[in-house]
């Protein structure tokens, strides 16, 4: 949304009064407390730990974790609105929330024992610990049934050996959700999920140099004969794939919401620029070719937002698995965020590349979300397979 009435009306139209209030409060907080330091954190490659800590007392750190565990859960749509508004100003802060809630906290809530919930959810909700999801391996991330990290049964528990790459928040995390296999030849029937304390002997976290998101400190995580006890297994050995599927459904919801926030940011930065920048004696926003881009930016953002909110409502209505809808929302929203960043740069002309303007940074950050939590190719494949009846939800 911007301050222009029709856009705000459309984005908020079918939200409840509470959801609108949450949006306004998160936006106000994010612009005041997060936005001013994003560029500096990025330049210095500094993880925004202290900014993330400020989310907890306001309830923005654990919007999917129930109050009984110290969280602030209201409903899934509200969770999406929080992710959207945080991502509108900072990819990394929004990612910390979405990984801790959708992938890690949500999995523990759904599949954890009472002891696992008590051990992990309160510190996640209070911000005492952050979370990482260790899924992708050097040999591939799209085909999760081909995971090679081995889980071998030993006296008193399991031994984990293998390597994970592109792991967000790893150097800061107090819990790793790790996907391993008890037998690679069993593919998805071998996948097992472990909840691991990152300070366990044998775990090494090393920085993975990236072209973007310097402030996230993406990492490689190596597991070298790491011993974990039986209580570290989430669910049953060999039954981790459905846990992962449910986690990724919710993960794709929050990633899609984050993409809507990023797409919206590109609009919010572009409209004032197009009003103020002049060429040939008039504001560039009066040229039809600029207007065409602005119209497309608005339409694709609203289309994506509609899919995201509807997916949230399906989850609020208790639909257990919404994999096709999650793929649709994530695909459309991530491509909208990238295209909006491209259009915003074009409308900013040379300033689109200037370090003084935010739109240039948005582009690579948006593009990462066409890759993370399932590439666009994977989502197109899944959607088509659901449509053709080859795959059932």
Q: CA 357, 363, 365 angle in degrees (round to 5)?
A: 105
Smaller CB separation from ligand FAD, 89 or 284? 89
* Cα→Cα distances 167→5, 86, 132, 138, 171, Å: 40, 20, 7, 11, 9
Q: What spatial distance separates the first Cα and last Cα of the chain, rounded to whole Å?
A: 33
Output the CA angle 138-143-149, nearest 5 degrees: 50
State the nearest-atom distance from the C-beta of 104 to ligand FAD, in Å.
Answer: 10
The least CB distance from residue 132 to ligand FAD, in Å, is 6
**Given the complex with ligand FAD, which of 22 and 165 has the nearer CB atom?**
165
Q: Which is nearer to ligand FAD, 72 or 132 (CB)?
A: 132
The encoded tokens of residue 86 equal 């945080």
Residue placing its CB nearer to ligand FAD in the complex, 248 or 344: 248
Residues that are catalytic: 373
Task: Please check whether residue 293 is in contact with residue 344, taking contact to mean a CB–CB distance below 8 angstroms.
Answer: no
Q: Are 333 and 327 in contact (CB under 8 A)?
A: no
**Helix, strand or coil, per DSSP, at residue 178:** strand
Coil/strand/helix, residue 140 = strand
Residues contacting 281, CB < 8 A, separation 6+? none
Q: Which residues bind ligand FAD (CB under 6 A)?
A: 132-136, 140-142, 166-168, 213, 218, 368, 371-372, 375, 377-378, 381
Minimum distance from CB of 101 to ligand FAD (Å)? 14
Residue 270's H or E segment, with its range, is helix 240-276
The residues that bridge with 162 in the sheet, in sequence order, are 223
Q: Pairing state of beta strands 233-234 and 191-196?
A: antiparallel
Pairing of strands 157-167, 150-154: antiparallel
CB 208 within 8 A of CB 166: yes
Of 12 and 220, which has the nearer Cβ to ligand FAD? 220
State the minimum distance, in angstroms, from the CB of residue 165 to ligand FAD: 7
- Decide if 332 contacts 307 (C-beta within 8 A): yes
**By C-beta, is 25 or 378 nearer to ligand FAD?**
378
Q: How far is the CB of 380 from ligand FAD (least distance, A)?
A: 8
Query: How many C-beta atoms surround the C-beta of residue 217 within 10 A?
Result: 20
Shortest distance, CB of residue 295 to ligand FAD, whole angstroms? 30
């Amino acid at each position: 949304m911007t301050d222009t009435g029709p856009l705000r009306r459309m984005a908020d139209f079918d939200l409840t009064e509470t959801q609108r209030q949450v949006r306004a409060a998160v936006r106000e907080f994010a612009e005041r407390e997060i936005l001013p330091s994003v560029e500096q954190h990025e330049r210095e490659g500094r993880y925004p730990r202290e900014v993330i800590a400020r989310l907890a007392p306001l309830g923005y750190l654990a919007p999917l974790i129930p109050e009984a565990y110290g969280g602030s859960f209201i409903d899934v749509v509200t969770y999406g609105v929080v992710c959207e508004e945080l991502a509108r100003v900072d990819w990394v802060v929004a990612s910390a929330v979405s990984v801790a809630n959708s992938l890690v906290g949500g999995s523990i809530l759904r599949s954890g024992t009472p002891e696992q919930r008590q051990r992990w959810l309160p510190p996640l909700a209070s911000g005492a610990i952050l979370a990482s999801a260790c899924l992708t391996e050097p040999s591939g991330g799209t085909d999760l049934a081909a995971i090679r990290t081995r889980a071998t049964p030993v006296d008193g528990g399991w031994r984990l050996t293998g390597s994970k790459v592109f792991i967000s928040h790893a150097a800061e995390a107090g819990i790793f959700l790790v996907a391993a296999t008890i037998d690679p030849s069993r593919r998805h029937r071998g996948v097992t999920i472990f909840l691991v304390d990152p300070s366990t002997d044998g775990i090494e976290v090393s920085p993975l140099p990236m072209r973007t998101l310097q402030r996230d400190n993406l990492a490689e995580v190596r597991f070298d004969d790491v011993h974990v006890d039986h209580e570290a297994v989430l669910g049953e050995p060999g039954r981790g794939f459905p846990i992962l599927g449910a986690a990724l459904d919710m993960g794709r919801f929050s990633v899609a919401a984050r993409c809507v926030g990023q797409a919206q940011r590109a609009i919010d930065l572009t409209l004032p620029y197009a009003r103020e920048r002049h060429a040939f004696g008039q504001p560039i926003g009066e040229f039809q070719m600029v207007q065409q881009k602005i119209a497309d930016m608005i339409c694709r953002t609203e289309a994506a937002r509609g899919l995201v909110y509807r997916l949230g409502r399906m989850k609020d209505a208790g639909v257990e698995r919404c994999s096709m809808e999650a793929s649709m929302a994530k695909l459309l929203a991530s491509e909208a965020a990238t295209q909006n960043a491209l259009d915003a740069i074009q409308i900013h002309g040379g300033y689109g590349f200037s370090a003084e303007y935010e739109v240039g940074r948005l582009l690579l950050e948006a593009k990462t979300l066409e890759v993370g939590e399932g590439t666009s190719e994977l989502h197109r494949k899944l959607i088509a397979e659901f449509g053709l009846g080859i795959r059932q939800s």
